[in-house]
Structure 1
C-alpha cells in the first residue's frame, strides 16, 4: 500500500478495508464503488470518502472517469501481460543481484515468517492474516537484494496486481503450493542456487494469474501461460523444499 502516513486515520481505514474487500473478492473487477454506500458504511463525510477513492485510484485498485462513479479496476488481458511482465523483470532481477551468502540472521527472519505463515494456513486462520504474512514473507525475501528502490517497485506492482491476485489467493490447493514454493525459495537461498531462485520468484506468481485468465480471458489466452508449468517444476525439484523445516 502507498504511504498512509499522509492520510487521515479514517481515510486510511477506508482504504485498508476496501483493499481487503478487493483482494478477497468481496468486490469484483468493474464493480461500482458508490460514495453514498461508503458514507453509510463508515459513517464518513463525502470529502473523506472521495479522498479514500482517490487513494484507491492512485494505488491502481480502482478507476474513475469524470462525472461517473469509481469502479474496481478491471484489467484487460494485455494489461495483465504488461503488469506481470514488469513483476517478472523486477523480481527476477532482485534474485539475480541478491548478495550470497545471505547472513544467518537475515535468513532466520525469513524462516520465522515462513513458520508463522505455515501455522496460519494449517489452522485455517483469518484470510487477511494469511495474506499479510504472505506479503511479509515476500517483502523480507526481496529486501535481501539490498536495493531499496527495486523493493519499492516490486511492492508497487504486487499491489497493483491485487485485483488479479484476488482470484484464488486463499484457495486451499494454492496455499499448499505457496507453502511448498516458499520453502523452496528459502532452500535456494541457503544453497546459493541463484538459477532456481530466479525461476521460483517468477513462477510463484502464475497460479492466481491463470485463475484470472480462466475466469476472464478464455481458452485462447490460457494456452500461453500453460507453457510456464514445466519450468516451475524444474525449479522446485532443484530447490528440494523438504529441506526447510523451521526457523533455526
Structure 2
C-alpha cells in the first residue's frame, strides 16, 4: 500500500527567513522609491507596529539592509537610511559602469528571440504600471529589464556582482522613480536598448547604458546639495 506524501508545514525558522526576506524587500523598495529618505531613522518599535513583526525579525531585517549597503547602524544611535557622500556615489557608479559594460561585451550574438520577447513583455508591463501610477511595479520591472540583459553574459559571478551594486545604488536612485519625466526617459531608453540588441550593436548598447546611469546620480547630487 502506498500513501500520498503529505506536504510538510514550514518550520518556525523557515517562516522567520521568509518574513525577513519579505520585509527586507519592502524596505528596499521604500528606499528606492524615496518613501524613506537618506539619513531617515528606522525605529525598531515603529517597524514592529507597521509590519506586525517581532523585534528579532525587525533587527534581522535591518542587519540584512546594512549588508546590502542601504542602511547604516551606529551604536546608541540606531539605524538610518544610508546617505552617500560625493566620493561614495562616484565610487559605486564607477564600479557599476565597469561591471555592466563588461557584461554587455560578453553577450553572445545574435541574442535569442526569446530574450527579445522577454524584454518586450517586461517593457509593456513597465509602461502599464507607469500609466497606472503603480511605482512599486515600475521599480521592479526596471530591475527585471536590466537583469534580463545582464544575465545574458553567461557569467554568474559577474551577474551577482552587478546585482549587488545595482542594489547598493537604490538610495542614490531614490528620486528617479518619483520623477515622471525620468520614468518616461527610462522607458524610451529601454526601447532603444531592445533595438540595439535586435541589431546586434553592443557598442551602442554600452553607450545607452552609460547614459542611462547618469540621471539618478545627477538628481541625487542636486536634491541632496552635494
The normalised TM-score by structure 1 is 0.81
Superposition map of 1:190-201 within 5 A: 190-201=198-209
Could you tell me which residue of structure 2 aligns to residue 222 of structure 1?
none
More moved, 181-190 vs 43-52: 43-52
* Pairs within 5 Å for 1:27-46: 27-46=36-55
Q: Deviations over 1:76-123 (max 9, x none)?
A: 0000000000000011111111111111122211122112222222x2
Asked if 1:157 is matched to 2:165, the reply is: yes
The corresponding residue for 1:95 is: 104
| Structure 1 residues 201-240: aligned runs within 5 Å | 201-218=209-226
Distance 2:57 2:192 in 1: 44
Matching of residue 77 in structure 1 with residue 86 in structure 2: yes
Residue pair 1:22, 1:166 contacting (<8 A) in 2 also = yes
Distance 1:6 1:161 in 2: 29
For residue 30 of structure 1, report the CA deviation from its aligned partner: 0.8
- Confirm whether residue 24 of structure 1 aligns to residue 39 of structure 2: no
Moved more, 78-87 or 90-99: 90-99
RMSD of aligned C-alpha atoms?
1.6
Alignment partners' CA distance in 2, 1:7 and 1:151: 28
Q: Given the two structures, how large is their TM-score scaled by the length of structure 2?
A: 0.89
Identify if the C-alpha distance between structure 1 residues 187 and 7 changes in structure 2 by more than 3 Å, giving closer, same or farther: farther
Q: Note the C-alpha offset of 1:7.
A: 5.7
Structure 2 gaps, min length 5: 1-13
Structure 1 position 63, deviation (Å):
0.5
Match of 2:117 in 1: 108
1 CA distance for matches of 2:15 and 2:160?
17
Q: Note closer, same or farther for the CA distance 1:186–1:58 as it changes in structure 2 (3 Å cut).
A: same
Unaligned runs of 5+ in 1: 219-248
Residue among 127, 130, 136 paired with 1:118? 127
Q: How big is the shift at 1:6?
A: 9.6
